[in-house]
Amino acid sequence: MSRPTAVFLDTSILAGQQYNFESTALSTFIPAAKKRSVKFLLPDPTEREILRQIKERSEEALKALEDARRQAPFLAKWKHYPAKASPMVGWEVAKIANWEWNAFLANFDLVKLGYEGVKVDKVMAWYSSATPPFREGKKRKEFPDAFAVAILAGYAKKNDCPVAVVSADKDFKLACDRFTNLFYFESLPALTELLLTDDDRIEQLRNSILADASAIEASVLASDNFNFYHDDGELEIRDSSLLVATISNLRIVALGSGEATITFDADIEGEYKLEDSATGEDEWVSETFSIGCTAKVGIDLKSNKVTEIISIDHDQSITLREQPRSRQWMD
């Protein structure tokens, strides 16, 4: 089982900590990330937004000091009160703020990510269809977040690894739901807790999913992505009915906060209407086929129960071999 091996922190998480890199949430996350050798992913659009916010906060802090000086002139007699803002003071404040940010990054195996491999036309398609992180209304123009999602999805695919996406913005969750290797966490403590989870807990979760796999099996049966073919070129499949799915060899390959990616095999019993192109006659036959599946599922971490099937992928091209009884008799 693979916990997230890389993490992305949205600006909403850092802003929620007031960019205090010694906060409890951030300071407890650092040793957990080090213990699991988690890489810290920093997409270019996110880094630009962070630096912009740090600069704005520094300027707002200096302005607040000047406002206090005007509203309470007696503060000027306080020997520890900061000197009146000047270009040099502004430079020193910015220097401190940036030093704190860089010192925080120094705790991690930092991976800065550019735009290589990002397909702009795909991002624009998300924009046109208001696909998260784009939404209607005020969330319509979320290009920095959209590029960040595309960059992170590309990294996860290229490196075949689960990536934790920590954000207070629920549109990030909707975006992550489309990618099996992106796992959404609404808070940093939730990720820290997972990184500290022992392997026995994972085994308990796997056994619980296997004990009640009805929702997963039903989702496999409900899939309409199967393409059926017969290895006998004279037989055409005119109709099909999938009856029973049984899963086995289930593995939790990645675990997030309240969701997991699992792989498993599914044996599917079904009935298929075969038409003989030579005679025009048709007949129903029964056959069981096996496929490999990957699913992203919602998990109640208290009960270890599957709460939803977020997405499911499987082998799509299925070759059948069962012959109609009439042909078996001829043989």
pLDDT over 80 at 38, yes or no: yes
Amino acid identity for residue 27 in this structure: S
| Percent of the chain residues past pLDDT 90, beyond the cut | 33
Q: What's the rounded Cα separation, in Å, for the pair 322 and 274?
A: 10
Closest by CA to 255, choosing from 315, 296, 289, 224, is 296
Asked if residue 42 lies in contact with residue 147, where contact means CB atoms within 8 angstroms, the answer is no
Residue 102: what pLDDT? 93
Give the pLDDT confidence of 203-251 residue by residue, as tens digits: 888 889 988 899 999 999 998 888 888 888 888 899 999 999 999 888 8
Q: What's the rounded Cα separation, in Å, for the pair 125 and 30?
A: 37
153 vs 13, 110, 188, 210, 223, CA distance in Å?
Answer: 20, 17, 20, 29, 24
266 vs 27, 90, 230, CA distance in Å?
Answer: 44, 63, 20
Residue 310: what pLDDT? 92
Q: Is the peptide bond before 133 cis (omega within 30 degrees of 0)?
A: yes
Give the pLDDT confidence of 133-180 residue by residue, as tens digits: 776 655 545 788 889 999 999 999 999 999 999 998 888 888 899 898
pLDDT over 90 at 2, yes or no: no
Write out the CATH class of domain 6-195: alpha beta
